[in-house]
Amino acid sequence: MVHSILVGFMGSGKTTVGQLLAERLNCPHLDLDALIVARVGKSINQIFAEHGEAYFRSLEAEMLAGAFKREGILSTGGGTPVRPSNRRLLINSGIPVVYLKASPEVIINRLHGDQSRPIFQTLDKKKLTQLLHERENAYEQSATIRLSTDHKEPSEIVHTILKSI
């Protein structure tokens, strides 16, 4: 089984923190988006453009269930806990689920110029804040640990996670 799972909005630090946490624990880092990209052989942008979001979401759900059985630290996608069945999997897993929180300002700063996230491309600050607000409950419900990543170094966040898991 995976040791810990990271959830949170795009730009909250899931991949950066997940990689560092896995390094510290000397175990593999599993990135759900990367698993999907490897499986389909297309980028996230291409999957959204050619097959649509619904197709991406069904792949995401399928890959999430499979990833649970592997060994390592799992970084999910920003939309993963929104699907009720994914959320149930996370809640019932018995695995520590860390919600990495970030403010809209910090997210926008971190993702400035990013071209790899199709949903981020469609959001201005107001819409991003609204989507974050809409998803907050899903992240909160899924999580066993909650941490703000605003103005913190990844090493500091990893240190806090290691004390809590």
Q: Which residues are annotated as a binding site for ATP?
A: 11-16, 117
Which is nearer to ligand S3P, 94 or 105 (by Cβ)?
Answer: 105
CA dihedral 108, 112, 14, 39 (to 10 degrees): 130
CA–CA separation, 49 and 116 (whole Å): 12
Binding-site string for ligand S3P from residue 104 to residue 143, where x marks contact by CB under 6 A and - marks none: -------------xxx------------------------
Question: DSSP for 2-48?
Answer: EEEEEE-STTSSHHHHHHHHHHHHTS-EEEHHHHHHHHHTS-HHHHH
In whole angstroms, the minimum distance from the beta carbon of 119 to ligand S3P comes to 5
Kindly identify the residues of this chain, within the stretch 71-110, that bind ligand S3P according to CB under 6 A: 77-79
Residues contributing to the site for ligand S3P (CB under 6 A): 10, 14-15, 33, 44, 77-79, 117-119
